[in-house]
Amino acid sequence: MTPTEPSVPGEAVQGVDDGDDVEYEEVTVPVLVVGAGAAGARTAIALEQNGVEPLVIGKRDHGDAHTTWAAGGINAALGSLDEEDDWTIHAADTYDEGHFLNDPDAVELVAEHMPDRIRELDEWGMPFDRTDDGKINQRYFGAQSFRRTCFVGDRTGEAILETLVGKAQELDIPYRDNVMITRLLSDGSRVYGAAGYDMADGHFVVFTAEHVVLAAGGFSALYNRHSSRDEENNGDGPALAYEAGASLLDTEFVQFHPTGMVQNPDWDEEWGGRLVTEAVRGEGGRLFNADGERFMERYSPDQMELDARDVVARAIAQEVRESRGTPNGGVYLDISHRERAFIQKRLPRMYERFQRLGVDMATEPVEVAPTAHYTMGGVDIDFNTGETGIEGLYAVGETVAGVHGANRLGGNSLAETVAIGKLVGEHVARQVTSETPTLPDGMRALAQREFRALEALEASDGDVTPVEIHETFGRLLWDHAGILRDEVGLRAGLERLQDLRERTADLRVDGDRTSLAFEYAVDLSFMFTVGEAILRGALEREESRGAHFREDFPEKSDEWRKNVLVRRGDTGMELSTRGVGDPSPEVQAALDEGYELDYHHLE
Tell me, yes or no, if 281 is annotated catalytic: yes
CA distance 399 to 228: 15
Give Cβ neighbours of residue 482 (< 8 Å, ≥ 6 apart).
Answer: 223, 256
CA distance 488 to 492: 6
Give Cβ neighbours of residue 533 (< 8 Å, ≥ 6 apart).
Answer: 238, 242, 248, 251, 377, 566, 573
Which H or E run contains 149? strand 149-150
Indicate the residue type of 336. Answer: S
Q: Which backbone phi and psi does 350 adopt, to 5 degrees?
A: -60, -45
CA distance 403 to 397: 10
Q: Which backbone phi and psi does 204 adopt, to 5 degrees?
A: -80, 150
Strand 378-380 to 400-401 pairing: parallel
For 352-367, give the DSSP string: HHHHHTT--TTTS-EE
Strand 572-579 to 562-569 pairing: antiparallel
CA angle 218, 535, 91 (to 5 degrees): 50
Residues forming beta bridges with residue 57, ordered by sequence position: 34, 176
The 8-class DSSP code of residue 552 comes to: T
CA distance 239 to 2: 28
Q: Which backbone phi and psi does 103 adopt, to 5 degrees?
A: -75, 120
The 8-class DSSP code of residue 382 comes to: B
Identified catalytic residue from 90, 117, 257, 353 = 257
CA distance 181 to 289: 45
Contact 177/62 with Cβ under 8 angstroms?
A: yes
The interaxial angle of helices 412-431 and 104-123, nearest 10 deg, is: 90
Strands (E), 187-288: 191-198, 204-214, 248-249, 254-261, 286-288
Which is it for the CA torsion 503, 507, 513, 518, positive or negative?
negative
Contact 214/237 with Cβ under 8 angstroms?
A: yes
Contact 419/265 with Cβ under 8 angstroms?
A: no
Strand 331-334 to 286-288 pairing: antiparallel
Contact 154/346 with Cβ under 8 angstroms?
A: yes
Identified catalytic residue from 281, 286, 404, 408 = 281
CA distance 164 to 68: 12
Contact 375/255 with Cβ under 8 angstroms?
A: yes
The backbone region for 303, taken as left when phi is positive above 0, alpha when psi lies in -120 to 50, beta otherwise, is alpha
Radius of gyration of the chain (CA): 23
- Cα torsion 33, 36, 38, 44 to 10°: value is 40
CA distance 280 to 72: 9
- Selection from 592, 583, 585, 587 nearest residue 88 by Cα: 587
Tell me, yes or no, if 257 is annotated catalytic: yes
Residues marked active site are found at: 257, 281
